[in-house]
Structure 1
Amino acid sequence: MNFTSPFSIAIVVITALALLGMPIGLSMICGSILYLWMAGMDMGTVAEQFLNGMYSNYIILAVPLFIFAAEIMNSGSMTERLLRFCNVLVGRFRGGLAQVNVIQSLIFAGMSGSAIADAAGSGRMMQNMMTRENRYTPSYAAALTAVTAVIGPILPPSIPMVIYALVSDASIGYLFLGGVVPGLIMTAMQMLQVGWDARRKNFPVEEPVPLKDVPRITWQAFPTLLMPVILLGCIYSGVTTPTEAAALAAAYAVIVSTVIYRSLTLREGYNAVLVSAKTSASIGMMIGGALVFNYVVTIENLPESLRAILTSWDLNWWQFLLLVNAILLLLGCVLEGTAVLLIIVPVFIPTAQALGIDLVHFGVVVVVNIMLGLVTPPYGLLLFIMTNISGSPMRSIIRDCMPFLAWMVLCLALITFFPELVLWLPRMAGYGG
């Protein structure tokens, strides 16, 4: 490798700027401009790639809409009513409140598609509920909230899967379906671990909800529970595209919070719009930067070069997936998940196709890897969020996360070596891959 080549210098500049605190999207744009200048190419190509990529991909609109829907849910009382309903289901068992944490993430997953929204919204409420009267240690509550939030983007809808579809041209609808079985497996594993912890640590038993209150609580939560049914029903019936379904989810969340529950104030609505705009702008800048940098990567013919190298190693499909898992798990320790999806994953896609790996299967494996990165030290973003919310030391939260992380790695291994766990449901829906 020539360390004085334009591409090598661009990589150094991008890394240096990111380490100095510049957003990774802007860092990639700056590095790409430098590359084009050093290569004697038209630097206006950066603007062309940015604008063409951002404005010709209708699918990108789904990202801010799902984010806004999640913010509205957390601002209104939809999340609170959801938690009460989950408490009716599993709250009466030993460690029931911890099981409520798992179940609410499972249901919330069908509404927001964002692990961050889950942890920052319903996760904050669960932290307060679990630590009240010293029922659970703050570190265990924080760790459980972090690992259950990981379920969100694996089950449909999923913002990371939308971004993967952007870089791979895989079907969003089938990607969403492919995440269902892995998400349910991961949920079951987390519930098993909570059940084991409940017996070993003698977790408290919550006061059972009187039977006479069950219909009322269920009825109050019914509009919230209807949201994933409407959302996914519209996608798979063909009534809407995934992007239109995201708009429908946002509109439905606003209507339920303002008209039915009457719990969303004007100030809360404004704050939800503001937070959604900031988050969407951050993700949008990263997507734009990645589109520009991916143009540079294409010029350098890096994906084909990597495919040639891996082909020379004579790897079969499962050996390649094992290598990808190892690389993505390591990168997840130090890089933000969206950056990995936009920069690293496109390089692997040609090789995956050459080895006959289905892109829906590959996409679900990639997304699970990236979600594990959210709870993997030292960079795990969910760990930082829950440290801030709970006030517990990071090392205590990491310690309590470890058993759950082991289960999630096992789930990753299962879906890696048994593709039918991912592809069974999409094929039932007519997928021909």
Structure 2
Amino acid sequence: MELLEILVLVISFIALLVLGVPIAFCIGIAALLTMLVSIAPEAAFTTLAQRMATGLDSFALLAIPFFILAGQLMNRGGIASRLIDFAKSLVGTLPGGLAYVNIVACMLFGAISGSAVAAASAIGGIMNPRMVKEGYSRPFSAAVNITSATTGMIIPPSNILIVYSLASGGVSIAALFVAGYIPGILLGVVLMLVAGYISYKKKYPVGDRTSLKEVIRRFLDAVPSLLLLVVVIGGIIAGVFTATEASAVAVLYTFILSMVVYRQVKSSDLPDILIHTVITTAIVMLLIGTSMGMSWVMSYANIPQAFSEALLSISDNKIVILIIINLILLFVGVFMDMTPAVLIFTPIFLPVVRELGVDPVHFGIIMVMNLCIGLCTPPVGSVLFVGCGVAEVSISKVIRPLIPLFIAMVAALLLVTYIPELSLWLPRAFGL
């Protein structure tokens, strides 16, 4: 029966995906069909509903709507422009300086908002016109913005790391948050190296030199925004509050910053901000619910165990297995959104890597970095679509300048995969 369940699950999911059915419904319907065929045909609907409800019944998941709301407030609160000005004062004078500014600003904004889509939209909306005006090609500008926006999914606070903690059975969110810093910064640095080389080769302009006084002024202007990182992550590490409580603190802080300090958000803007937050939260929670239902179906059918045995029968070499897992996740990321991919494949791969001695925190960072690449690729790359839309350029024109940046992302992924200390040094230093 196990083979029948696998065939029904896989074939129905792929068929629905090809037909253009939204990913959350693909997952839920595929899980339901599998239950109707063999697992619990007489109680399939009730069981699936129960599993979806149980999957969402988690205190840790409360952090997601709060971080989404904080990101919405940041997106409207004038934070992006201040971070761009600060980044420009730091790296704008280098060859291809505006490309560096784009990357640094995306890293800062993504780290504060925890959203790659928000970073691509907010930073891209400001930087793309500036880069085109200075003589950069529009496709290159879009490609830099698209790839650098993904750093916000690794540098904390990150919603996807909270989802991984849930899927892994309780890996510390605080440890995952702290573990994301060095890999996220590494990814940004590698992208800067490639963007800098391309800018030098194509003779893109050098920005105007900024005085030390101007650097200090722009830094002080950006300090209230940057302080959110210290408040949220510092509070978690110090044990002042949990990651879930930190998300509520982030909302309160960004609310005061956007409405009182910067005065970019008015009270009349709040209903629209709350509606967008509710819509985004509903989409994410539906994905989580249906994915948890599918995870239960796979667990009931012993699919993770069968997959683990098959994978370990190929080799017991950690390097080989991690290469295979990376290749599978890179392929999955092309066709599936990050949230369901993490929820579905964590129970499959985590037992395998644990048997090989890989730390669950380290594997979480590997998994998220893998799937970040999928955000930049068609046919379901959300950051790709947003980045191209903001830059007003077609996807076909962006693919060519994206390729060397993709290679840089894969290089960073390999470094993180095979040098565990890049992920684990900071958590161990803080005793997490």
TM-score by length of 1: 0.93
1:37 matched to 2:36? The reply is yes
Task: Kindly report structure 1 stretches of 4+ aligned residues shifted beyond 6 Å.
Answer: none
Aligned counterparts of 1:330 and 1:10: Cα–Cα separation in 2:
18
Deviates more, 1:168-177 or 1:23-32: 23-32
Q: CA deviation at 1:221?
A: 1.8
Q: Is the 8 A contact 2:110 2:150 kept in 1?
A: no
Displacement, 1:299?
0.9
Counterpart of 2:153 in 1: which secondary structure? coil
Q: What is aligned with 1:27?
A: 26
Distance in 2, matches of 1:81 and 1:146, equals 20
Partner residue, 1:253: 254
**Residue of structure 2 equivalent to 1:288:** 289
In the alignment, which residue of structure 2 is the partner of 1:150? Answer: 150
- Equivalent residues of 1:25, 1:289 under 8 A apart: yes
Structure 1: which amino acid aligns with 2:236? I
Aligned-residue offset at 1:328: 0.7
Shift of the 395–22 alpha-carbon distance from structure 1 to 2, 3 Å rule, reads closer
In 2, the alpha carbon distance for the partners of 1:85 and 1:427 equals 31
Cα displacement (A) at 1:301? 0.8
Report the AA paired with residue 409 of structure 2: M
2:385 paired residue number: 384
Deviation at 1:403, TM superposition (A): 1.4
For residues 200-250 of structure 1, give each alpha carbon's deviation from its aligned partner in whole angstroms, at most 9, with x where no partner exists: 111112233455544443332221121111111111111111111111112
Determine helix, strand or coil for the equivalent of 2:73: helix
Secondary structure of the residue aligned to 1:315 is coil
Which stretch shows the higher mean deviation, 143-152 or 179-188? 179-188
Partner of 2:54: 52
Quick one: distance in 2 between partners of 1:35 and 1:21? 20
Distance in structure 1 (CA, Å) of the matches to 2:12 and 2:310: 26
3-state SS in 2 of match to 1:357: coil
How many angstroms does 1:302 deviate by?
0.8
Instruction: Indicate conservation of the 8 Å contact 2:23/2:336, yes or no.
Output: no
Question: What count of residue pairs does the alignment treat as equivalent?
Answer: 428
Amino acid at match of 2:136: Y
Decide whether the 8 Å contact of 1:364 with 1:422 is kept in 2: yes
CA contact 1:318–1:416 (8 Å) conserved in 2: no
Q: Secondary structure at the match of 1:111?
A: helix
The residue that corresponds to 2:182 in the other structure is 181
1:4-30 Cα distance to aligned partner (Å, 9 max, x none): x35533443333333333322233223
* CA-CA distance at 1:304 after TM superposition: 1.1
- For 1:91-110, what aligned pairs fall within 5 Å after superposition? 91-110=92-111
What's the secondary structure of 1:99's corresponding residue? helix
Task: Give yes or no for contact 1:74–1:122 (8 Å, CA) kept in 2.
Answer: no
Whole-angstrom CA distance in 2 between matches of 1:317 and 1:252: 44
Contact 1:231/1:248 (<8 A) preserved = yes
Contact 1:377 1:398 in 2 (8 A): no
Matches within 5 A, 1:209-248: 209-248=210-249
CA distance in 2, matches of 1:378, 1:11: 19
Pair 1:10–1:407, CA change in 2 (3 A): closer
For 2:354, the equivalent position in structure 1 comes to: 353
Specify whether residues 379 and 53 from structure 1 end up closer, same or farther in structure 2 by C-alpha distance, changes over 3 A only: closer
> How far apart are the structure 1 equivalents of 2:240 and 2:42?
45
User: Is the aligned partner of 1:266 residue 2:267?
Assistant: yes
| Alpha-carbon distance, 1:110 to partner | 2.5
Equivalent residue runs for 1:331-350 within 5 Å: 331-350=332-351
Question: 1:121 aligns to what?
Answer: 122
In 1, Cα distance between the equivalents of 2:283 and 2:424? Answer: 32
Mean CA deviation greater in 260-269 or 399-408 = 260-269
CA separation of 1:309/1:141 partners in 2, compared to 1, >3 Å: closer, same or farther? Answer: same
Residue identity in the other structure for 1:376:
T
Contact 2:69–2:277 (8 Å) recurs in 1: yes
Tell me, yes or no, if the aligned pair for 1:77 and 1:261 is still in contact at 8 Å.
yes
Instruction: Indicate the residue corresponding to 1:320 in structure 2.
Output: 321
> In the aligned structure 2, how far is the partner of 1:68 from the partner of 1:261?
17
CA distance in 2, matches of 1:17, 1:404: 31
1:412 aligns with 413
| Correspondence 1:185-196 to 2 at 5 A | 185-196=186-197
- Residues 46-104 of structure 1 show CA distances to partners (whole Å, capped at 9, x for unaligned) of 1211112212x111122222222111111111111111111111222232221111111
Give the TM-score normalised by the residue count of structure 2: 0.93
Q: What is the deviation of 1:317?
A: 1.8
